[in-house]
């Protein structure tokens, strides 16, 4: 059974700092890994998608890495801003326990950037 864990559960840092969010998964047989952002009471916004054959993806101040063999991914946020405050979720997609592809989420990291 695939399980996704995110550490830390919550993080508060001052504006301007670089930070790293961690995600680990137990079954390395994944199609891809995706990082999302969720603002309170809102839906999900996709930030970065890494295919299983890739090792990293970058978008602006965000960089996500994937080490499939060790079951780990990191989301690096450079020069953090108060507007980055949100919950960050990682999710993996694949086929486990059934014939249907599904996406499994981690529990998220609640990030707060202090002005």
Partner 1 sequence: GAVVSQHPSRVICKSGTSVKIECRSLDFQATTMFWYRQFPKQSLMLMATSNEGSKATYEQGVEKDKFLINHASLTLSTLTVTSAHPEDSSFYICSARVLSGNYGYTFGSGTRLTVV
Site of interaction with partner 1 (CB under 8 A)? 31-32, 34, 36, 41-46, 49, 51, 89, 91, 93, 98, 100-108, 110
For the CB of residue 74, give the shortest distance to partner 1 in the complex, in Å: 18
For the CB of residue 27, give the shortest distance to partner 1 in the complex, in Å: 15
In the bound state with partner 1, the residue whose beta carbon lies nearer, of 17 and 42, is: 42
For the CB of residue 69, give the shortest distance to partner 1 in the complex, in Å: 21
In the bound state with partner 1, the residue whose beta carbon lies nearer, of 3 and 67, is: 3
Q: What is the dihedral of CA 34, 97, 99, 30, to 10 degrees?
A: 30
In the bound state with partner 1, the residue whose beta carbon lies nearer, of 22 and 93, is: 93
- Give Rg (Cα) of the chain: 14
For the CB of residue 90, give the shortest distance to partner 1 in the complex, in Å: 10
Q: Where are the alpha helices (DSSP H) in 35-80?
A: none
How far is the first Cα of the chain from the last one, in angstroms, to the nearest whole number? 41
Residue 15: how many other CB atoms lie within 10 Å: 14
Residue 105: how many other CB atoms lie within 10 Å: 15
In the bound state with partner 1, the residue whose beta carbon lies nearer, of 76 and 105, is: 105
């Amino acid at each position: 059974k695939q399980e996704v864990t995110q550490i830390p559960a919550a993080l508060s840092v001052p504006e301007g700092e670089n930070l790293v969010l961690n995600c680990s998964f137990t079954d390395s047989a994944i199609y891809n890994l995706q990082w999302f952002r969720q603002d309170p009471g809102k839906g999900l916004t996709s930030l970065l998608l890494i295919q299983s054959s890739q090792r990293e993806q970058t978008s602006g101040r965000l960089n996500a890495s994937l080490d499939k063999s060790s079951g780990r991914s990191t989301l690096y946020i450079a020069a953090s801003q108060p507007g980055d405050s949100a919950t960050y979720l990682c999710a993996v997609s694949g086929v486990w326990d059934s014939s249907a592809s599904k996406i499994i989420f981690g529990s998220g990291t609640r990030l707060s950037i202090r002005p």
